[in-house]
A = this chain, B = another copy of it.
């Protein structure tokens, strides 16, 4: 067993001391992002981008398996097009970047850089949907979008970010609602299986839903410090945009109808979720499923050929079963240990001359820092076993955090007490009135995270006004 208290990485602020600073330290020192002279925009460095590529690859496969096709829409939206759906433009116009000049010429109509692409998809759908035979249309795009935020933090909130946006059209309301839920389930399964992050699934309140949507479903993840992170959303639009854009199709009975629409998205914000769900005071901890490097090999006494040769041999043997990196740079082993800790590489193999004499190596887990000796004969099976175990342990730990920080309250007094001493998900009954939602915001500083799909009957009465409750809602602090 290793010394669990040892801290290789001294430059990271501890979580307890300042969680926000811990976060930005990790992002910077693990070389995930860098700042640029473009205010509020981030540079995603190779290690950060490789995590995003792993996210993309897995999700893209899930989208394609469920019949979705990728497309690419223009990055600009003419002002008049953005204005076609009233609620939508009200939500987005205040936070878009406007292009007013092309070269030396002033544009006749200004263009915004897409903050989201509903209106572009609708315009296209109008030209390609004529008949029920053209439905459903199941499109997705991977791109970047821009929202003019004043306060920014890498991955969590930035002026430009990378995301995917699915946009679908359906013959019936039922089909569209089913799609909205299907995609939310895909996000939740992905978070659980790949990112090792448990999420709460539910519906946003009217106040919190997407501009122009009839319903917004959400997955809410719980960060290490109890703060919630909205990690993916799926919207049902009814036929609101279809009517605004006059998208009509001939139904099976030859009458004309408006198709029903959905959209859904996740973004590089998920990298923020990984950091704050699993990281510790030594830096990042990556679930093996998304780790760019799953196993790092560190030779001890690199001057000995026998050591380097053995490391190369092992690298070759395991390169078919995992993403491995042999580090033969001329940095010291200690420096390399520290680097791999910081970057959250799930497994480190240390191989020195003494180990080789015993036909073994040292395997160090990043998650619990356990050291075990592994016979070189068993290396493949042991690595697969440990990677699987790390993936599961990270999920279990995150799930325990979510459970430990979920509270149930049935009176305003208990609500205030909990909020004073804890951060987490707080369940209560609610009448559905926005005034009560505002009161919780103003007096306790919490927003509604969602109305969970799994409802409980805590009491008959709204936590705020005491009137008859309509549903159980979950409150929390959020990024």
Interface residues of A (CB under 8 A from B): 34, 36-38, 41-46, 49-50, 52-53, 69-78, 81, 93-104, 111, 113, 120, 123-124, 127-128, 133, 139, 143-144, 146, 148, 159-160, 162, 329
Contacts and interface: CB of A to CB of B under 8 A. Distances in A.
Given A41-B76, A99-B100, A103-B148, 16 more contacts: A36-B123, A37-B78, A37-B123, A38-B74, A43-B72, A46-B71, A46-B139, A49-B69, A53-B70, A74-B160, A93-B103, A94-B104, A97-B99, A97-B111, A100-B100, A100-B101
22 contacts: A36-B124, A38-B76, A38-B77, A38-B78, A41-B75, A41-B76, A42-B74, A43-B73, A43-B74, A46-B139, A49-B69, A52-B72, A53-B70, A76-B97, A93-B103, A94-B104, A96-B103, A97-B99, A97-B101, A99-B100, A100-B100, A143-B144
A44 B69 contact: no
B41 A124 contact: no
Nearest to A161: B72
Contacts of A120: 36, 38, 43
Nearest to A114: B38
Contact of A97 (B53, B72, B102, B329): B102
A279 to B, nearest CB: 22
Contacts of A49: 69-72
A54 to B, nearest CB: 12
Identical copies in the complex? 2
Given A43-B74, A71-B46, A113 B96 contact: no
A99 B71 contact: no
A11 to B, nearest CB: 17
Contacts of A160: 74-76
A132 to B, nearest CB: 12
A77 to B, nearest CB: 7
Contacts of A127: 34
A102 B100 CA distance: 11
A398 B74 CA distance: 32
Nearest to A111: B38
A148 B102 contact: yes
B98 A101 contact: yes
Given A127-B34, A148-B103, A50 B76 contact: no
Contacts of A101: 97-98, 100
Nearest to A119: B37
Contacts of A124: 34, 36, 43
Contacts of A44: 71-72
Contact of A103 (B50, B74, B95): B95
B73 A36 contact: yes
Contacts of A102: 96-98, 148, 159
Contacts of A41: 74-76
Contacts of A73: 36, 43
A220 B30 CA distance: 42
Contact of A72 (B69, B96, B162): B162
A75 B144 contact: yes
A69 B51 CA distance: 12
Contacts of A139: 46
A320 B95 CA distance: 47
A349 B67 CA distance: 23
A74 B34 contact: no
Nearest to A148: B102
A128 B34 contact: yes
Nearest to A81: B37
A30 B451 CA distance: 45
Task: Please name the 5 residue pairs, one residue from A and one from B, whose CB atoms are nearest each other, closest first.
Answer: A41-B74, A46-B69, A102-B148, A44-B72, A98-B101
Contacts of A111: 38, 97
A98 B69 CA distance: 32
A98 B95 contact: no
Contacts of A93: 103
B45 A71 contact: yes
Contacts of A53: 70
Contacts of A133: 329
A87 to B, nearest CB: 18
A52 to B, nearest CB: 8
A99 B96 CA distance: 10
Contacts of A98: 99-102
A247 to B, nearest CB: 15
B70 A46 contact: yes
Q: Which of A77, A81, A99, A143 counts the most chain B CB atoms within 10 A? A: A99
